[in-house]
Amino acid sequence: MVRRRRRSVRRKKSFTISAIETGAALSLASSAGVDTALKTALAGNLPLALSTIQSSVASNKNKIIGTIGAAYVGKMLAKSFGNAQVAKLGPIRIKP
């Protein structure tokens, strides 16, 4: 008697991102002036790019601290919701 082979089961590959962490990261990047600094660095002026980030962080420190605090509170509240899924975009699952 010949042993039968099991059919291979294909698993859909997906990954999960945190909506709170992603939003906080985008807000922090905006507050730090990363977009302007990146354009300057790609143009070849790295010292000016670093000084742009430094000055943006210094001038927006209250906004940055508020963003970090709000993200922390959001993460604490999200833990009480369990593993609720906010949205699914193809292979990307967004959770709070």
Positive or negative, the CA dihedral 64, 65, 67, 68 is positive
| Band of residue 86 on the pLDDT scale cut at 50, 70, 90 | low
Q: Does 11 or 57 have the greater pLDDT score?
A: 57
* Domain presence at residue 7: no
Position 9 in a domain: no
Query: Is 6 contained in some domain?
Result: no
Backbone angles phi, psi at 87, to 5 degrees: -155, 165
Q: Is residue 4 part of a domain?
A: no
The DSSP code sequence of 47-86 is HHHHHHHHHHHHHTHHHHHHHHHHHHHHHHHHHHH-S---
Residue 66 lies in a domain: yes
d(CA 74, CA 3): 54
> Could you report the per-residue pLDDT of 58-81, keeping only the tens digit for each?
999 999 999 999 988 888 887 776
Domain-located, residue 10:
no
Question: Could you give the CA distance from residue 63 to residue 46 in angstroms, rounded to a whole number?
Answer: 25
Which domain, by its residues, includes 56? 16-95
- Count of domains in the chain? 1
- Residue at 23 is within a domain: yes
pLDDT in tens, 31-61: 999 999 999 999 999 999 999 999 999 999 9
Instruction: Provide the pLDDT for residue 85.
Output: 67
